[in-house]
Structure 1
Amino acid sequence: MPGPLLDTLLGANIARRPIWLMRQAGRYLPEYRALRADKGGFLELVYDSPAATEITLQPIRRFGFDGAILFSDILIVPYAMGQNLEFLAGEGPRMSPRLVDTALSALSAVPQRLDAIYATVAGVRAALAPETTLLGFAGSPWTIATYMVAGEGSRDQHETRAMAYRDPVAFQAIIDAIVDVTIEYLCGQIVAGAEAVQLFDSWAGSLAPREFERWVIAPNARIVAALADRHPDVPVIGFPKGAGEKLPAYARETGVAAVGIDETIDPVRAAHALPEGLPVQGNLDPLLLLAGGDALDQGARAVLDAFAGRPHVFNLGHGIGQFTPIDHVERLLAVVREWRPA
C-alpha cells in the first residue's frame, strides 16, 4: 500500500501533508558525522553500500519523514561515463578531464560504477516500512554538463554556457550522452526499489529563455518520457532551481508528475500559475529553518496555506544547511503534522 508521499505525487490532495527534506541525510545529523568520521571521505561513503544505506535511514529513524532520499551524489552519472571524480575538502567536487578541453569521445564508460548505488537502493527498500516512500534521484543533464565541461562548480556556469553558444553541436552530444545514461541509471534505481525519482537541476536558473528550452526542458522531457514508457507508475519530480518565470513552461512541457519549487518563488503565485492539479513540492527557505522560532512557524504555515488547493509535498526550497539545529527540524515537523486546510 503506497504511503502519503507516493499518494500525493500520484495526484491525491491529502489533508496531512507528507514531508521530506532535501539533504535530510547529511552533516546536520550527529549520527552522520560520527559515521563519516569512522568511514572516511564522501565518495567512500557513497560506494560503501551498507554505510550509504545506514545514512539514508538515519533521518527516517530520527524524524519519521514520509520519504527516504537515497544517499548518493548527482556526479555519479559522469563518473560512470568515464570522468574521474574526487571531492576535495573545503573545495567541493573536481572532475577530469574537463570537456572544455577534451572531446567526449575520449571518455571510456565504466557502467559498473552504478552497481553500488543500486545495492544501496535495494538495502534501503528492504529496511523501510511500506508507508515510507523511497526516492531515487539523478542530476538533470544541464547541471551535470556544467560539471563535466568546467570540471567543477561555478557561480554562473560561464564556461559551459559559452561552449553551448560556441559549439552547440558538440554540447548537444554531451547532453544526449548524459540523457541516455541517466535514463538507464534511474531505471536501475527503480528496479532496485525506488518508488519515485527526482531530477535535480541545481543550475537551471543561469540560462536565458531559449537556452532553458533547449538545455533544460527538452532533455528532461526525454528522460520523463522514457521513464513513463518503461515504468509508467513511478512519478518523476522535476526540480529546476532558479527557473523563476520559466517554471510553468517547465511543468507543462517536461511532463513531470510533480514540480519542486525553490525558495525564491512566491508560493501563492506558483499555486495559480502552475497547471491545475499538478502536485508541487517545497518551498520553505532553508535559512528560515536555520533561524527557527516564530518566523519558522509562520513561514511554514504560509507555504502550507498557499498550496492548500492542490497536492503538496512539504519540503525546503533547497537542501538543509549543515548547521541547522535538530530542534528546529522537530519544530517544523510539528507545524506540518498539525496543519490542516481551512
Structure 2
Amino acid sequence: MQKTMLSMFENLEVPQTPPIWLMRQAGRYLPEYKEVRKQAGSFLNLCYTSELACEVTLQPIRKYQFDASILFADILLIPDALGQKVWFVEGEGPRLEPVKSPDSLTLDNVSSHMQPVYKTLSLLKQRLPEETTLIGFAGSPWTVATYMIAGQGTADQEPAHSLKQNDVSAFQALLDLIVEATIEYLAGQVAHGAEVLQLFDSWAGSLSGDDFDRFCIQPNKAVIDGLRLRGITTPIIGFPRGAKSRYVDFAIQTNVQGLSIDQDMSLTSVLEDLPDTIISQGNLDPLCLLDGGQQMFSKIDHILDVTKGRPHIFNLGHGITQLTPPHHVTDLVNCIRNREK
C-alpha cells in the first residue's frame, strides 16, 4: 500500500485527505502507555529497552491508524551518548550535570550507545503497517545545548544565552560537537529504517536577529548538509518553534523539505511566502485538542481550508498535552478523514 506521507515528499502530491500524525502521539495521555512506563521502571530505561520503546511507538498507530509513526526516544539521548550524566526526575523532567564546554565529552561512543534505539527502529520497520511512514528525529543543536548547559529545562534558556555571550568560543565548540553527534545519530536512524526525519528546535523562539542565524539556522543547516554529504537523501522536517517571522527564512536557508509550524503563527502568512516545494505541517493548538468539541472542529476546518491545494501534513503546533482525553484524538482523526471534500 502507498505511504501517503512519504509519497508527498517524493512526488509533492496533494492527497485528497492530508496525512495525519501528532507530536507526542505516544505518551502520557494514553493509559496503555502508562502501563508500559511502569514496567520500564524509568524513562531512560523505556527509551533504551527496544521492545518496550517499540510497543509504545506502536500504541497510537493501533488506536488511531495515523499515517506516520515517530520513534519513541528523547532529544537528551545525545548528551547521554556524549558522556554527560542524564537522568529524569518523576513529575519534574530531565536533569543533567551542567557542562560549559565539550572538554569532558566525546563522540567516540555515540554509535554504540545508540544501538538500542537503532534496534527499536528495526523492530518498527518489521511491525508497522505497510502504509505507515516511519519518522526518526533528534533535537536541534541549540535546543539540546540549552539543556546541557543549564542542567534542566529553563523558561528563558538564560544559562545558554549567558555562555554564548561570555564565552562564545566554548559555546560554539559545544554546538559543533552536538552537530557531529546528531549527524551520526540520524545517519544511524536512516540505516535502520527511518524514512523521514524531524529536527526539533523547541527553544528556537528565544533566539533573535543574528543569533537566530548563527545558532538556529546554521547548526540545523550543518546537520542537514552533513547528512547529504553522506549520501543520505531522506526528507527532513524542521521545527523551529517560536521562530515567528523567521519561519520561512529557516526553511529556505536550511534546505528542509518540510516545515512544522507552531500554533502561535498565522498559517496563512507563512504559506504566502513558503515555496511550494516545501511541505507544511502542524499549526493546530494542542489546547484545542485538550478541549475538543466545536472549537477544535472549527480550527481543523480552517487549517484544511488554508492548506487546500498544497501538500500539508496535519499535526499540532507542539506536542499533545498530558491531560488530553484520548477520545478527542479519535474525534480529530474522524473529522479530517470524514470531511466532505
TM-score for the superposition, normalised by structure 1: 0.96
Are 1:239 and 2:239 counterparts?
Answer: yes
CA RMSD of aligned residues (A): 1.3
1:105 alignment partner in structure 2:
103
SS at match of 1:199: strand
The alpha carbon displacement at 1:223 in A equals: 1.2
Alignment-mate amino acid for residue 258 of structure 2: A
2:78 alignment partner in structure 1:
77
> Which whole-Å CA distance do the structure 2 matches of 1:23 and 1:168 have between them?
33
SS at match of 1:300: helix
> Which whole-Å CA distance do the structure 1 matches of 2:339 and 2:209 have between them?
37
**Residues 210-268 of structure 1: CA deviation (Å, up to 9, x unaligned):** 10100010111111122233344410000000001011100110000100000001111
Cα distance change of structure 1 residues 231 and 285 upon mapping to structure 2, 3 Å threshold: farther
Any conservation in 2 of the 1:52–1:72 contact (CA below 8 Å)?
yes
SS at match of 1:280: strand
2:96 alignment partner in structure 1:
95
SS at match of 2:16: coil
The alpha carbon displacement at 1:167 in A equals: 1.4
TM-score for the superposition, normalised by structure 2: 0.96
- What stretches of structure 2 of length at least 5 have no aligned partner? none
2:26 alignment partner in structure 1:
25
Any conservation in 1 of the 2:187–2:232 contact (CA below 8 Å)?
no
Aligned length, in residue pairs: 338
> Which whole-Å CA distance do the structure 2 matches of 1:316 and 1:35 have between them?
25
> Which whole-Å CA distance do the structure 1 matches of 2:273 and 2:87 have between them?
41
2:180 alignment partner in structure 1:
180
SS at match of 1:156: coil
Where does structure 1 differ by over 4 angstroms across 4 or more consecutive aligned residues?
A: none
**Residues 39-77 of structure 1: CA deviation (Å, up to 9, x unaligned):** 211111111110000010000001100000000000001
Alignment-mate amino acid for residue 106 of structure 1: S
1:50 alignment partner in structure 2:
51
2:253 alignment partner in structure 1:
253
Once the two structures are superposed, the pairs formed by residues 1-342 of structure 1 within 5 Å of their partners are 2-10=2-10, 11-96=12-97, 98-100=98-100, 103-109=101-107, 110-111=109-110, 112-339=112-339
Any conservation in 1 of the 2:289–2:328 contact (CA below 8 Å)?
yes
Cα distance change of structure 1 residues 340 and 138 upon mapping to structure 2, 3 Å threshold: farther
> Which whole-Å CA distance do the structure 2 matches of 1:229 and 1:176 have between them?
16
Cα distance change of structure 1 residues 43 and 232 upon mapping to structure 2, 3 Å threshold: closer
SS at match of 2:114: helix
Bigger mean CA offset, 230-239 vs 14-23: 230-239
The alpha carbon displacement at 1:282 in A equals: 0.4
**Residues 94-121 of structure 1: CA deviation (Å, up to 9, x unaligned):** 111x123xx3112245322211100101
SS at match of 1:316: coil
- What stretches of structure 1 of length at least 5 have no aligned partner? none
Percent identity between the aligned chains?
A: 46
